Amino acid sequence: MENQPEMSDTNNAKKPGLNADVKKATERTTSFVQFSGIAFQMLGTIGLGVYAGMKLDEWQKNERPVWTIVLSLTAIGASLYLFIRQLTNK
């Protein structure tokens, strides 16, 4: 028994199903990270539009938040455009 080499875990790596499982898990993780990045980009774009609109309304002393509404809707449209463009580039 002492002369026999120890069995290592390298035999498990040669199983055909193991590589496919690792590849699937990697693809799922990559997709999750990519879509999370898109969500944060959309959040940042919309937040920047709302913030800029609020500051413009404050600077112009508007009674109604005209710039906030206009820039927030513009930011929503821009973020949706970027989202669709990134999805079609896949």
Walk along the chain (90 residues) and give the pLDDT tens digit of each residue: 556 555 555 555 555 566 777 777 777 777 778 888 889 999 999 999 999 999 999 999 999 999 999 999 999 999 999 999 988 886
pLDDT at 41: 92
Residue 19 falls within a domain, yes or no?
no
Residue 49 falls within a domain, yes or no?
yes
pLDDT at 5: 56
pLDDT at 87: 85
Residue 42 falls within a domain, yes or no?
yes
Q: Is 18 helix (H, G, I), strand (E, B) or coil?
A: helix
Q: Is 26 left (phi over 0), alpha (psi -120 to 50) or beta?
A: alpha
Residue 18 falls within a domain, yes or no?
no
Residue 29 falls within a domain, yes or no?
no
Query: What is the extent of the structural domain holding 83?
Result: 38-90
